[in-house]
Structure 1
């Protein structure tokens, strides 16, 4: 951030001097040479300070692991509540060893007689034997995770079988087990972290490097590259990998081979059974055991439904519960063997809905017909008007069409995850740059006209073009992580030292510069002091309010990430704008005085506040044009015009989350059910929606 601020100041100074009248340009360019040298010294000093205050000792992996565990617990407890896995009590998890040819022999996953285990059992857990891998429940699943000698577990199942929910509950069980141990034993237990495979190409990026990069981008806990590497190498992290079935088919075998050869930590792999069978035909995950989630039992479904209803249940629900319990071979009962359909059934029909219509075998002859009907009703049900609810401008039909658009975009990208920054990639670069240039040129031109008069309107157009180039550079450099700042960082010795050092460089440079030009000791000292104060304050603010990754101890909601990104952009605008205006006024004072010390102060004070205002406007235009938040606003406008999506697209996503169509994991949106995304992405409806 500091380098970018200095670059903005120097770039603005160059443009400003270039547009000056010829008589003023000489003195100002001479001062500009001094400013350039001073800025270079500031950057060199900055690098020195970073090296002095940067920790060089080895990371404390135990302390880092405890902090990461707290962050993961908060994040996934929020996610579990969002998925309705906490209340009412979740559907039971049952599994059995997968009979499909997807893994090697059980003997490769357990300790052979007289052999050495790759991983010792976690404290409080026993080694896993072959007999314990035949079948089990949720508690047994955690014992397998913590006691398997190979440390490699594959959790598989069909669409809607509850793999993600089971993984979330397993992750929380592992965190609770870790928290319940004494500090000494706790350090032997890794922290489970969930990753999605989207974006990993094992042909070009080693597994460990990809994990380190992903950990560094994790919004709920900030890690440096050495810290992330140290945690992985010390086996302080257990990796949960989701999404093997979502990567291109030709890449799945390569991923399994990379995991077999490169993973040195506990590993849990989540995937659909059919896709794993195809991938395992060429390559298996060495030493892994595959556990397949079992269909729900009728008694489990009946008990779960009864616990979510009034006592006694309404008549339609009594008919449904009776059908599930007493006629388990019907199409309707078979459909409810999946956790997906059970949760959809409860969400769509509520306590008083005509749920018994699903017993009509003419309308619903098979289980797939029941599932498709439920998936098709999800959006309409979510957007039904409820008593006391404020009207929402987006109709159910418009919401469905917009969600279909989102689902298609995600499926085309081969991912289940949507961040707000991804939305900007749905807009062509040309369209985004055109809108950016127009908006920022208008804002910049208006600001210059208000602050300096109509004759200075040309400056606005110039800086509008510069902002357009900044947005183009941002596209070339790739996406940046969302940023935030903390006021308390202003009051650190590093920030104070940086401010004092920058002030000494500036003030110490201005003083001999003016003395050499015959301005006298008093005037030179006065302007040296002014230069010291201005540069010290700006450097102090720039260092203290510099961008930082999201907070460690709680997940960052998507809208919070946008707000913090814009805040950092505006702080950058203020610092760079005031610095630019101050440099302009000093240069103007030197040109105005013509060697007359008495006129130096008048030259500096001449049009001071308009210059500050125009400088801040320039900073706002450049910094906001470079921010993710502004690019997101541009993308929303473009999507509304091009695809007739809601103009407040981010508000639509948050509303869909509140209506339980989307879920949130940190700054990531996901469809509540992967099957729902697939259904919407493949829908035949292609109507455009109104904003």
Structure 2
């Protein structure tokens, strides 16, 4: 029986006399990962991790060969040509980093191996798996890929051909032929010496599909040991603001969002994502240059021209031409190609294969001619010169919409598209296809007994369109239009005052409930002391403390959001680990930590001041103490100082300890929307389990310390158990719950996207299940950890429908802007 990876590593670990926990500390690999490997459970990133474990365990060359065979017949044993690893990721030597102009996209891979190269291999495998799934989801190969063809970009939009070749001016190198088809994109890219390629096309012409095929072809070459060592990564460049963040930093942020495990730090202090980019292991594929805000495209082109790294850029023709004209320069050292239109011949070969065969007059399938509903329409369009029909279906986007409406819907026939009275031009046909897409994919069906679809997933086309139109409006209503539909940003669709109100109300409820529970639970244990409140007084106290907590958290939330300039909190890419387990690789920088703890300290002080005011009101309500007196003013000011010194340092100490326990997420963390939400939910839960008891005890015990230090200096002070319980509960339990809801991405998701927006009817109860269902139906697509609408034109169509339905044009005495027609360029 052949050895397994798990059996071999288990034997090596026992020979070394190490427990799984000791191996975790030495190899910097989580104990859960070690258990999965030793139990031979599915594990994605095996090569680099197993190599690190083999180094720590001192595996012999024979054991390494057995590991390689167990891993699937790899030609090189893991780590056979490396020095034993110390668990760190050293910087790539300068000699291994090729110059952008001389390396070329098809340079042979480096033979030297190391942890950084293995991290790039792991990233390549993950990206290949994701985009293969995405390509299958879009039905690109069913029944076969549409013939996406291109020609060389016109002069004036591309750089001089000599600047894109890897040679000196004295060399005579003929200009490369840049024409080709979908399956040849990687081959064409191999002819570009500079590694910089621009792909132009009109809306819906297949630029994104071409980018996906390009990435998969390059990764296939890389897996075979051919081509470049660079890993092609698709970035939605529409979210980039080049005036606010540099290209390199923006690329790093994109990698960290979609691949959280790259947040772990290397000895230089950089993240692994930054190290991969700096060492030349990443080939950026910048998809959607035209989606950058109009006033920023020239700045973006200037920023791209300041670097010479290989990259691929996709854009619509008009927007790119405007940016080139404004910058007075094309993309430096780049070669450009422009996608052509589909023809009636292309449609004749493709569309009939997407529809069922029609029966003949005898009720049998016509096996001779294999006629479908599309055959007669395409024949008539050819004979009658259906120019509008051919022009409308000249892009893969419109062909896909037509296929969904007619081939996948048995109750509709495409012959209506030839009605010139109903559709006087190509634009009318396109609008008809956009409007009919959602009803087609959400058409009614009979419920099934075993249907396990979540309750938040609708079957009613009208309800689905209502929610999707709200989401589209949420993306396009800002000055800087967005395309990424991120779950942690859905609350941004609410006005800023509404979000502050939601945070204040939720925080007030959390603090009030914790105060009620602590106060009522303490009544039986504290006896009948005059200082003990009655149940009725406890309820009143909870309301007052809740109002103070809601005000404190509401004000802090508003200030933090205003200072950061961000309307949402980013998902965390860390988890909590015991001291020494993570090696400090995932901790924040000193600047980030200082700003974070400063905000926590300020919030604690505000909470303390609010508690002092609550105490004053309690004196007045419960003991009839007059407010407008000098003694009461003295007591209030004293309490403000005491409570501020209790809450501020306590919060700073506890949250500082939490920061010290942070470590990066596992490399197995999935950066799908659901995976990122699940990891953030788990991280928030663990953080709450740490924060709540620690903050409660710190407030309670800190009160005794502060009162002891200030006793006498501020007059007689007292801190009894009856004082400590409600205050510590409000600050510990209630404060933790309010913090989770107000200042974490998962909490904002729960508060706004799962409670507030569904209650107002703007989103379903289970929003993420609805988004996943829309993705499976082909309405949305995934790009890493975010969803996007299938195409920008569909997003604009739904957003315009939302504004028309809600009367935003009528209320402003405006008329709806016409849907921009794509460029009509002859092939």
1:573 equivalent in structure 2: 688
1:330 equivalent in structure 2: 387
Deviation at 1:649, TM superposition (A): 4.4
Pick from 283, 289, 309: which aligns with 2:335?
Answer: 289
Contact 1:75 1:554 in 2 (8 A): no
1:163 equivalent in structure 2: 207
Distance 2:90 2:167 in 1: 40
Contact 1:237 1:265 in 2 (8 A): no
When normalised by structure 1's length, the TM-score is 0.73
CA offsets, 1:409-435, max 9 Å, x none? 323432221212222222233221112
Q: Which moved more, 1:623-632 or 1:54-63?
A: 54-63
1:306 equivalent in structure 2: 352
Deviation at 1:145, TM superposition (A): 1.5
- How do 1:73-92 residues align onto structure 2 when only pairs under 5 Å count? 73-92=128-147
Local SS of the residue matching 1:292: strand
Contact 1:471 1:626 in 2 (8 A): yes
Local SS of the residue matching 2:804: coil
Distance 1:106 1:588 in 2: 74
1:227 equivalent in structure 2: 272
Contact 1:441 1:461 in 2 (8 A): yes
Contact 1:327 1:333 in 2 (8 A): no
Distance 2:515 2:290 in 1: 55
Distance 1:210 1:542 in 2: 28
Pick from 348, 367, 370: which aligns with 2:429?
Answer: 370
Local SS of the residue matching 1:222: helix
Contact 2:514 2:733 in 1 (8 A): no
Distance 1:289 1:348 in 2: 38
CA offsets, 1:302-360, max 9 Å, x none? 22223323345564233134346666653223322211111111111215231222222
Q: Which moved more, 1:576-585 or 1:344-353?
A: 576-585
1:211 aligned onto 2:297: no
Distance 1:115 1:446 in 2: 80
2:53 equivalent in structure 1: none
Change (3 A) 1:345 1:553: farther
Contact 1:470 1:626 in 2 (8 A): no
Contact 2:575 2:683 in 1 (8 A): no
Contact 2:147 2:181 in 1 (8 A): yes
Deviation at 1:644, TM superposition (A): 4.5
Change (3 A) 1:652 1:177: same
1:179 aligned onto 2:223: yes
How many pairs align?
A: 570
1:467 aligned onto 2:553: yes
CA offsets, 1:412-470, max 9 Å, x none? 43222121222222223322111211122123212221232243524444434443345
Contact 1:198 1:243 in 2 (8 A): yes
Contact 1:578 1:616 in 2 (8 A): yes
- How do 1:320-359 residues align onto structure 2 when only pairs under 5 Å count? 320-323=377-380, 330-349=387-406, 350=408, 352=410, 353-359=412-418
Deviation at 1:406, TM superposition (A): 2.6
Deviation at 1:626, TM superposition (A): 1.8
2:464 equivalent in structure 1: 399
Question: Larger relative contact order (C-alpha < 8 A, sep ≥ 6)?
Answer: 1
Deviation at 1:291, TM superposition (A): 0.5
Deviation at 1:221, TM superposition (A): 4.8
Pick from 591, 596, 616: which aligns with 2:733?
Answer: 616
Deviation at 1:645, TM superposition (A): 4.8
- How do 1:62-211 residues align onto structure 2 when only pairs under 5 Å count? 62-99=117-154, 101-111=156-166, 130-133=175-178, 135-181=179-225, 188-211=228-251
1:244 aligned onto 2:289: yes
Local SS of the residue matching 2:190: helix
Deviation at 1:394, TM superposition (A): 7.2
- How do 1:237-636 residues align onto structure 2 when only pairs under 5 Å count? 237-262=282-307, 264-281=308-325, 282-311=328-357, 315-323=372-380, 330-349=387-406, 350=408, 352=410, 353-388=412-447, 395-412=460-477, 413-453=480-520, 454=535, 455=538, 457=542, 458-472=544-558, 474-475=560-561, 476-477=563-564, 478=566, 479-483=568-572, 489=577, 493=581, 542=658, 546=662, 548-549=664-665, 552-553=667-668, 555-583=670-698, 586=701, 615-636=732-753
Change (3 A) 1:580 1:684: closer
Distance 2:707 2:248 in 1: 60
1:675 equivalent in structure 2: 793
Change (3 A) 1:615 1:105: closer
Local SS of the residue matching 1:217: helix
Distance 1:160 1:358 in 2: 19
Distance 1:248 1:325 in 2: 40
Pick from 37, 58, 74: which aligns with 2:91?
Answer: 58
Change (3 A) 1:131 1:203: same
Distance 1:250 1:470 in 2: 33
Contact 2:222 2:229 in 1 (8 A): yes
Change (3 A) 1:57 1:259: same
Return the structure number with greater helix share: 1
Deviation at 1:671, TM superposition (A): 0.8
Change (3 A) 1:116 1:643: farther
CA offsets, 1:115-170, max 9 Å, x none? 589xxxxxxxxxx952422x211233211222311211110111111111111111
Distance 1:113 1:314 in 2: 59
Distance 2:671 2:796 in 1: 27
Local SS of the residue matching 1:577: helix
Contact 1:257 1:284 in 2 (8 A): no
Q: Which consecutive unaligned segments of at least 5 residues does structure 2 have?
A: 1-85, 93-114, 358-365, 521-534, 585-653, 709-719, 808-827
Deviation at 1:403, TM superposition (A): 2.8
Change (3 A) 1:220 1:384: farther
When normalised by structure 2's length, the TM-score is 0.61
- Over aligned residues, Cα RMSD in angstroms? 3.9
Distance 2:279 2:656 in 1: 38
Local SS of the residue matching 1:147: coil
Change (3 A) 1:560 1:470: farther
- How do 1:33-52 residues align onto structure 2 when only pairs under 5 Å count? none
Change (3 A) 1:423 1:644: closer
Local SS of the residue matching 2:156: coil
CA offsets, 1:472-497, max 9 Å, x none? 3552444543236669x55974599x
Distance 1:144 1:435 in 2: 54
Distance 1:244 1:310 in 2: 39
2:817 equivalent in structure 1: none
Local SS of the residue matching 1:269: strand
